[in-house]
Amino acid sequence: VPVHLVDRRPQVAAGDLVSGLVPPPLFDQVSFASYRPDPTEPSQAAARVTLEQFADRVGALPARASRFRRRSAAGVAAPGGVYLDGGFGVGKTHLLASLWHAVPGPKAYATFVELTHLAGALGFGGVVEALGGMRLLAVDEFELDDPGDTVLVSTLLTRLTERGVALAATSNTLPEALGEGRFASEDFLREIQGLASRFTTVRVDGPDYRHRGLPAPLPPLADAEVIAQTTDLTASRDDFTALHRHLLDLHPSRFGALLDGVTRVGLLGVAPVPDEATALRIVVLADRLYDRQLPLVASGVPFDQVFSPAMLGGGYRKKYLRAISRLLALTRLGRQLPTPPAE
Ligand SMILES: Nc1ncnc2c1ncn2[C@@H]1O[C@H](COP(=O)(O)OP(=O)(O)OP(=O)(O)O)[C@@H](O)[C@H]1O
Ligand SMILES: [Mg+2]
């Protein structure tokens, strides 16, 4: 009998949040050495060199035993931050995690969503205490869905840089262009500007690595095939529409825990999503599925038809394209698996 994700409402303890601030499983083992720059995209090799140098600089800073502010020793430059800018699937997370692995601890790695959740659990001051002693904080997928969260995270990053924490971040747009005209608040713009000035931008150009030289998306399976491939205890099987309705009721920070113990995900009746709120939840779910490299088996429409042309032409275009790229990659993973024996 498979798991039904719609029956789960996970809670996560505060202590587990801090100890869980490491790269996701897919990026456990990555390194600068395993990053293969595309020779036709010179920015990739250049980005690796810049990040290796940044890792050396951050690693050379004296480690701190106390939580007090680090004063820059003579001749030691303040660490500041690097911002990896590029399209989806160019290897930003690979490089960010490689940087994290290359720097000696204490250090932390989190997505933007995880940081906001941490702040919810520990309070702002609690997060500053928990992370203020780090040598490096890597933040993947800086998001701007919510101006409140953006201010929260940029203020947090500002406090942490003041304590001498080196920062590294990714998102799909330049810090100066984040939120492009979607939010008018002057405070918000001021926050972004302040944040942007702390980062050196490292550009990573290139095509989506996940689809380098790959054929067109696989056609979806029939319902019966999805059912046959999701019969074991660690598979999940849900109706796509019921699942995305459930996601609207659940904070996005819980989507990872929703997938605990699941080794394969079945979705029945994948269909175009009705609205942007749902679409953005699907994006977060796609991220958590992808972090865990969960093979996907699905019936209905192919994932490149889930988001409407209007959505794909709107402000969240890059998020949707990234989600499609990830879901198609997981679908391919799903096809390589043998069908388990039926119950
Ligand atoms: N140059 C490269 N050499 C080796 N592996 C790579 C390279 N670029 C990407 N990859 C691999 O391709 C996959 C996608 O890369 P990654 O997730 O780092 O891209 P990304 O830019 O963070 O994409 P997204 O926009 O989806 O966040 C990962 O498994 C990563 O390890
Ligand atoms: Mg990434």
Indicate if the pLDDT at residue 175 is higher than 50: no
For ligand 1, whether the C-beta of 23 sits within 6 Å is no
pLDDT at 74: 40
Q: Is residue 69's pLDDT more than 60? A: no
- The pLDDT of residue 145 is 59
Atom of ligand 1 nearest to the CA of 204: 21
pLDDT at 147: 63
Distance in angstroms (rounded) separating the CA atoms of residues 47 and 7: 44
In this prediction, residue 254 has a pLDDT band, given cuts at 50, 70 and 90, of confident
48 in ligand 1 pocket by Cβ < 6 Å? no
* pLDDT tens-digit series, residues 262-275: 999 999 999 999 99
Q: Which of 67-76, 103-112, 174-183, 248-257 has the highest mean pLDDT?
A: 103-112
Instruction: Provide φ and ψ at 84, rounded to 5°.
Output: -90, 115
DSSP label at residue 3? B
What mean pLDDT do residues 326-340 have? 79
User: Residue 191: pLDDT band by 50, 70, 90 thresholds?
Assistant: low
The percentage of residues in the chain with a pLDDT greater than 70, rounded to a whole number, is: 82
pLDDT of residue 136: 96
Q: For residue 14, how many other CB atoms are within 10 A of its CB?
A: 13
- What distance in angstroms lies between residue 320's CA and the mean position of ligand 2's atoms? 13
Report CA(73)–ligand 1 centroid distance (Å): 36
Query: Which has more confidence, 199 or 332?
Result: 332
- Can you give the pLDDT at residue 203? 85
Distance 90 CA to ligand 2 centre (A): 8
Residue 292 Cα to ligand 2 midpoint, Å, equals: 13
Taking the CA of 209 as reference, the closest ligand is 1
pLDDT at 117: 83
Whole-number Å distance between alpha carbons of 1 and 310: 38
pLDDT at residue 214, rounded to an integer: 60
Distance 250 CA to ligand 1 centre (A): 28
Q: Are strands 166-171 and 136-140 parallel, antiparallel or unpaired?
A: parallel
pLDDT at 177 over 60: no
Q: What is the mean pLDDT of residues 40-58?
A: 96
Average of per-residue pLDDT across 61-83? 58
d(CA 71, CA 22) in angstroms, rounded, equals 27
pLDDT digits (tens, 9 = 90+) for 287-326: 999 989 999 999 999 999 999 999 988 878 878 888 998 9
- Average pLDDT, integer, range 179-197: 47
The residue that leads in pLDDT, 170 or 46, is: 46
327 lines ligand 1 (CB under 6 A): no
Through-space distance between the first and last CA atoms of the chain, rounded to whole angstroms: 8
**Statement: residue 237 has pLDDT above 50:** yes
Secondary structure string (H, E, C) spanning 180-243: CCCCCCHHHHHHHHHHHCCEEEEECCCCCHHHCCCCCCCCCECHHHHHHCCCCCCEEEEEHHHH
Q: Is the CB of 112 under 6 A from ligand 1?
A: no
